[in-house]
Structure 1
Amino acid sequence: MAPQTASQKNPSFVLQKQDHLTFEDRPIPQLQSPYDVIVRPRWTGICGSDVHYWTHGRIGHFVVESPMVLGHESAGIVSAVGDKVTTLKVGDRVAMEPGVPCRRCVRCKEGRYNLCPDMAFAATPPYDGTLARYYTLPEDLCYRIPETMSLEEGALIEPTAVAVHISRAAAIKPGDQVVVFGAGPVGLLCCAVARAYGASKIVTVDINEERLQFALKYAATHAFRSERVSAEENARKLIEQTGLVNGGADVIIDASGAEPCIQTAIHALRMGGTYIQGGMGKADITFPIMAMCTKELNVKGSFRYGPGDYQTAVDMVASGRLSVKELITRKVKFEEAEQAFADVRDGKGIKILIEGPEGE
């Protein structure tokens, strides 16, 4: 794969089809609305969904049918603004919320725009992502970040907003016992948000000992390594070994999508506890519905982020209530993007950031 040169207009990292990545020059985007801005993404994190589209060509009913620019966890610098933009100016440093809702449907109008059926989300077919020199967004989806926050931290606002949305759905409050299954980026950030919200005990659960130890240093108070036993037995050991009182956890978040984790979580909740599904796995699983009913659990799904989540994420990082720098495993140049994707596929590190193409 040939590296790009600074003379190209809009170098982009493109998934041509399953298992086939290229660099190519794309047209420089134009302002489609007087309320839009053009941003130069400077840092972009690699998400599991980006890698999944590369390796599988689809996620559920979202299928890669034509070439698509990858990337959606980005922060950058505003390079142009529309005539009616009032909150941003050229040169502003912004975290980029990568999904544009229609703003007109029932879900949008009731304040749940993340559920908009016509959402145009970056790097979700058929929409191009942010791994390019230029990208266009409405001004209200660009969040100015303070000088005290790096653009690298700004790129991690996207997964942080996912964790904020999950934690809000869980209604975590001071003193809660919270268990988070999965010690990947979102699971780790859920631990950090739970701590910021005052949880007294935060248990990280994974099968990877290295990830568990990282989580303990980062935000968790306790760790539990899942075993290949029944869900009921795993739940019993989890409760005993981590000292969960009152019959189990108040809140459990699954950020793994793994069927055994989901089953264990339901059994490890106290009566009347709250379960949030944040991770995506198989389309259909065997679910312990009897335990859910007899415990009268509050069971919810969580999808991306909605009103206030992005700004809350920015504020939490800017104020120091939550730190994301520890999650950055390494940073690479734009022309090293394919190797970075391969490393994420192979489970190397927590979060790898790709630098945007150099300026013209």
Structure 2
Amino acid sequence: MTDTCRAVVFGGDGTWELRDDFSVPTPPPGGAVLAVEAVGLCHSDVAQLAGHKHVPGEVSPVVPGHEIVGRVHALADDADLGVAVGDRVAVDIVWYGTPSEENPFGVRCYGYSFGLEEGAGLWGGYGEYMAVLPGTHLAKLTEGVSAEELTLFEPLSNMVAWLGQAGFQAGQTIVIQGPGHMGLTCAAYAKSLGAANVIVTGTSDDRLRLDVALEVGADHVIDVMVDDPVDAVMDLTGGFGASLAVDLASAPGTPSLCFDLVHHRATVIWAGLKDRQAVPVVTDKVVMKGLQVLG
């Protein structure tokens, strides 16, 4: 077996390179090494390439990639990760280390917070191999689905958590702002739960994605550059509004817009990253409509 492998490195300034001189890592104490099968491409990867910071302790240069499917290549002798060599796994990117003044919760994320100077430098999914530390959650995956399809575990697991936290139920209406892979997964999952009406919004540039939304579970799509989204949602719900609005867009105006898309005592989920910029929000609407806002 070769002792070297390839990985993509983001420079943090809009540059990247494919390097073939990384050493295949050895398992850290209590940890493991994975042979990466596939990694999803997230919109936040594009922002990361440009040098935008999203997560605590984000560093560069770095091997990125956080929607990771791989096989356990090697385990430390003292590893207690609940997996065996050869198992196909998904990686929970959040790892909890020692708290510090700069990072009071000790949160670090694979593909973001581990630099090239740590170990072999392979801590993200854009490499042929990556190391994981003790305490990392590795979820075993089926052999009956392709690795590429399995990379959807990350957006899907978010939807299971978020819609569960919101108490979304069969027969309710949901509005999803943003038809990226998160929004499309949300539409599919909401429909599988028995949603009466799944509405996805996007721009004219999202036309292809809006068409896909109709294929995977959306009942209606709204081009917000053609139709006013509030008027359209009210027309589709008989003037009542949705039970749940989910913001998965990057636009700064969508968080507050959620308040106008739902009925009284409804729920809003904010999950679209805005590159850490301040966005305008009319909080009076939360009070007057008795809304629940989740992040």
Q: TM-score, normalization: structure 1?
A: 0.71
Equivalent positions of 1:14-33 (< 5 A) are 14-24=9-19, 25-33=21-29
Q: What residue number does 2:120 align with?
A: none
Q: What pairs up with 1:119-134 in 2 under 5 angstroms?
A: 119-127=107-115, 128-134=123-129
SS at match of 1:189: helix
What is the Cα deviation at residue 186 of structure 1?
0.4
1:194-233 equivalences under 5 Å are 194-207=190-203, 208-227=206-225
CA distance in 1, matches of 2:86, 2:58: 34
The answer to whether 1:68 aligns with 2:66 is no
Alignment equivalent of 1:260, drawn from 253, 259, 268 = 253
- What residue ranges of structure 2 are gaps of 5+ in the alignment? 116-122
Q: Quick one: distance in 2 between partners of 1:251 and 1:116? A: 32
Show the counterpart of 2:178: 182
- For 1:247 and 1:174, how far apart are their aligned partners in 2? 17
Q: 189-198 or 127-136: which moved more?
A: 127-136
CA distance in 1 between counterparts of 2:94 and 2:143 reads 25
CA distance in 2, matches of 1:65, 1:76: 23
> Does residue 1:238 correspond to 2:233, yes or no?
yes
Q: In the alignment, which residue of structure 2 is the partner of 1:44? A: 39
Q: Residue 78 in 1 paired to residue 89 in 2?
A: no
Match of 2:164 among 144, 162, 168: 168
User: After superposition, what is the alpha-carbon deviation per residue over 1:74-113, rounded to whole angstroms, capped at 9, x for unaligned?
Assistant: 11111112334473222111122222123x87xxxxxxxx
Moved more, 7-16 or 273-282: 7-16
- Residue in 1 that maps onto 2:118: none
Whole-angstrom distance in 1 between the partners of 2:110 and 2:169: 33
What does residue 295 of structure 1 align with? 289
Change (3 A) 1:173 1:120: same
Match of 1:142 in 2: 138
Q: 1:174 to 1:246 in 2, by over 3 A?
A: farther
What is the letter of the counterpart of residue 211 of structure 1?
Answer: R
Q: Is the 8 A contact 1:88 1:139 kept in 2?
A: no
Alignment check: 8 A CA contact 2:201 2:229 kept: no
Q: TM-score of the superposition, structure 2-length normalised?
A: 0.85
Q: Supply the distance in 2 between the matched residues of 1:54 and 1:130 (Cα, whole angstroms).
A: 14
Shift of 1:65: 5.3
Aligned length: 279
Letter in 1 for 2:271: G
Q: For 1:295 and 1:275, how far apart are their aligned partners in 2?
A: 12
* C-alpha deviation, 1:159, in angstroms: 2.0
Root-mean-square deviation (CA, aligned residues, Å) is 2.5
Match of 1:297, as an amino acid? L
Kept after mapping to 2: 8 A contact 1:166/1:190: no
Are 1:154 and 2:150 counterparts?
Answer: yes
* CA distance in 2 between partners of 1:264 and 1:29 (Å): 47
**Structure 2 letter corresponding to 1:209:** R
Please give the alpha-carbon distance, in whole angstroms, between the structure 1 residues aligned to 2:149 and 2:54: 30
Counterpart check, 1:12 vs 2:7: yes
Match of 1:91 in 2: 86
The answer to whether the Cα contact below 8 Å between 1:266 and 1:291 also exists between their aligned partners in 2 is yes
Q: Is the alpha carbon distance of 1:86 and 1:17 closer, same or farther for their aligned partners in structure 2, counting shifts above 3 Å?
A: closer
